[in-house]
A and B are shown apart, each in its own frame.
Chain A
Amino acid sequence: MSQSLAPECNELKERYDTCFLKWYSEKYLRGIGTTDNNECSTLFKEYSTCLQALKERGIDKLLDEAREDYKENDATLMGRKKCKSPRHPGISVGI
């Protein structure tokens, strides 16, 4: 079973995941509710608060380092060759 990195958040993660998967398959994929996914937002907030424990494990620091690192890498790589697909997501992390 896919766990949360913070085992104490498993229960909240489970509830959020189930909500997300239902919303995604029953609404988003059918073109309903493509303007927001608020129906899982309360569950996400609870789960997210719990995940603050991630910070204690230094993940936020890793993220910062990775961002710096890749900024440098991407600058080198993209400078040489234009990225074919402009659609690719950059890193946007909200913890």
Chain B
Amino acid sequence: MVLTHTTKDSYSHPFPTVTLAFFLRYCSPQLNPFASHVLSTDTISSHVDPATGRLHTTRIHLKKSRLPPAVMKLLPTSLTGGTSDKASYILETSVVDMREGWMATESRNLNYVGVLSVVERQLYTVPAARPSPAADSTDVETRVVFRSRLGDRIRDKLGQAQAQAEAAANDGSGGFFARLGARGIQRSIESLASTKTQDQLGKSREGMRIILERLRQTGIMGVLELRKMARERSLDAAHP
């Protein structure tokens, strides 16, 4: 069971600025009010390939409630580990090629993958009509793939006991999953997640636009200064 969602969009900012905004997008809620659900961001590897000049970066983000509450409600606590831990780890890999003018990114969740895996791939490119990195707009194609393996797992678990489970489902005495049906659950999880993600994609675009606007106004040094000030304020608040 797989659900795919593809969107095309464009930013009215030059390609280099858009790639910078990508790295800055979770940098501070003061910069991006749509990033308040991001609890932490860490770079775990970053290197330039000397042969291609491409920058490869891997980061891990911790985000609040990746799974929509409606999905959480569908699941027994044995699978979600209770509702208290609603944060999910996101692995983000990116490759930037300044010479060729593209950036490819991929984000996937690291936990709950047995319930739902979401893989978001984005390709940022200099518009083909104006093939120069100095062009003043950037195209982005976003492709999100949702896959729920929950039903597969349940079927696996049932294994040889499947016949009995089906029999139980037929007479109405089966468990929650047997009644709802594995395929039904997969479909529900994928479509709920897809609806939620479309909403979040809108917010993530908004966030990128705010950062891009800030970069246009103050440049990177202004953004770094703002980031520093926000940090000092939060330190002051922590240690008055």
Contacts and interface: CB of A to CB of B under 8 A. Distances in A.
B224 A69 contact: no
Interface in A1-21: 1-6, 9, 13-14, 16-18, 20-21
Contacts, number: 147
Nearest to B28: A1
Interface residues of B, number: 61
A9 B60 CA distance: 14
Interface in B10-60: 16, 19-20, 23-24, 26-30, 35, 38-48, 50, 53, 55-56, 58, 60
Contacts of B186: none
Query: Main SS of chain B's interface residues?
Result: strand
Contacts of B182: none
B154 interface: no
A51 B43 CA distance: 9
B145 A3 contact: no
B56 A22 contact: no
Interface residues of A, number: 51
- 5 smallest A-B Cβ distances: which pairs? A34-B53, A29-B16, A89-B93, A94-B45, A25-B220
Interface of A: 1-6, 9, 13-14, 16-18, 20-22, 24-26, 28-29, 31, 33-37, 40, 44, 47-48, 51, 54, 59, 62-63, 65-66, 69-70, 73, 77, 85, 87-95
